[in-house]
Amino acid sequence: MHARCLFLFLLLISIAGRNLILSDDRVYQTSRRRNTLEKLNRRIRDIQYAHTRVKRFAWVGPTEEEMEEFT
């Protein structure tokens, strides 16, 4: 009887531990995914900013500061 209770208790602990490890892995994957999304969003903003500058160059021309930057 005691051996059966001990076995069930150890089984319960091992299942709980495995679930904790899996949940930690899920949190790690979620944070990696969030970091990737932040990097992509930053890259999209950079591209949009560059596109806006190119459009303005086409219509208005570069400012003096931007001319110095390119020379």
What pLDDT is recorded for position 12?
A: 75
pTM for the whole thing? 0.43
> How far, in Å, CA of 50 to CA of 66, rounded?
13
Q: Are 70 and 62 contacting, i.e. CB atoms less than 8 angstroms apart?
A: yes
Residue-range definition of the domain harbouring residue 14: 2-70
What pLDDT is recorded for position 14?
A: 75
| Per-residue model confidence as pLDDT tens digits over 12-62 | 777 766 666 666 667 677 777 888 888 888 988 888 888 887 777 776 777
Per the structure, the count of domains in the chain is 1
> How far, in Å, CA of 71 to CA of 57, rounded?
15
